[in-house]
Amino acid sequence: MADLKVGVLALQGGFEAHLDTLRRLGAEPREVRTPEDMEGLDALVIPGGESTTIGKLIASADLEPALRAHHEAGRPILGTCAGLIVCDAEHLGFIDAEAKRNAFGRQLQSFEADLEVAGIGDEPLRAVFIRAPWVERCGPEVEVLASCDGHPVAIREGSVLACAFHPELTDDPRFHAIFMAMTTSARERAGEEAAR
Ligand code: GLN
């Protein structure tokens, strides 16, 4: 589907590489810094960075009501690394899961791993982890798409997709493609509802 408008929260952290990946998949990405920037978006990415800082900047930019409205309208959200933490049950509560920050330990601040990810085919996905969280608890409606060392690192519940790694830092766009497929379906559903 043409011209899907995908916002990338650009308050702090690694938002630029997400813009590139989304463009490559044919979306129209837009940096989001204010509630006005959220208008007309089909989907939103909350990138990696520092979750405490991103949370504070969401509050000071008064973005929380617009983020909640986006979520409640069933428009997809992708949270990566710090973005997963920001979406979890102890923060914005967009997904019924709890992330454990910096979970892989100091000696493993950054590493790469080949992951089997449900829904992207047999070829493993090279995943870059940077002071990554893992998912410590997830609710019954949460689908685990990938795990690393026995801990969930990619999850989905309804319109929310989240991962502990940085899918924007490799050349492989397959994780973002899952998100774009969710965005296409959400927009088709919204179109059908409007036509009813
Ligand atoms: N360790 C960061 C946090 O807890 C997340 C790191 C990242 O986004 N790469 O917020």
Quick check: CB of 51 below 6 Å from ligand 1?
yes
- Start-to-end CA distance of the chain, whole Å, equals 21
Mean pLDDT of 109-129: 95
Q: Report the pLDDT value the prediction gives residue 107, as an integer from 0 to 100.
A: 62
Quick check: CB of 82 below 6 Å from ligand 1?
yes
Looking at every residue in the chain, the average pLDDT score rounds to: 96
Residue 32 C-alpha from the chain's centroid: 14
Q: How far is the CA of 195 from the centre of ligand 1 (A)?
A: 42
Mean pLDDT of 75-103: 98
Quick check: CB of 50 below 6 Å from ligand 1?
yes
Task: Report the share of the chain in percent with pLDDT over 90.
Answer: 92
Q: How far is the CA of 132 from the centre of ligand 1 (A)?
A: 6
3-state SS record for 45-107 = EECCCCHHHHHHHHHHCCCHHHHHHHHHCCCCEEEECHHHHHHCCCCCCCCCEEEECCCCCHH
Residue 3 has pLDDT above 90, yes or no: no
Residue 106 has pLDDT above 80, yes or no: no
Mean pLDDT of 113-131: 96
Quick check: CB of 100 below 6 Å from ligand 1?
no
Q: How far is the CA of 131 from the centre of ligand 1 (A)?
A: 6
Distance CA 111, CA 23 (A): 26
Quick check: CB of 14 below 6 Å from ligand 1?
no
Full-model pTM: 0.96
Comparing 109 with 99, the larger pLDDT belongs to: 99
Residue 79 has pLDDT above 70, yes or no: yes
Query: Nearest CA to 18 among 4, 6, 33, 3?
Result: 6
The pLDDT tens digits of the residues spanning 9-42 come to 999 999 999 999 999 999 999 999 999 999 999 9
Q: Report the pLDDT value the prediction gives residue 108, as an integer from 0 to 100.
A: 66
Best of 9, 15, 101 for a ligand 1 pocket test (most atoms within 8 Å of beta carbon): 101
The pLDDT tens digits of the residues spanning 36-63 come to 999 999 999 999 999 999 999 999 999 9
Give me the catalytic one of 18, 70, 71, 166. 166
Residue 158 has pLDDT above 90, yes or no: yes
Q: Report the pLDDT value the prediction gives residue 194, as an integer from 0 to 100.
A: 87
Residue 81 is among the residues annotated as catalytic for this protein: yes
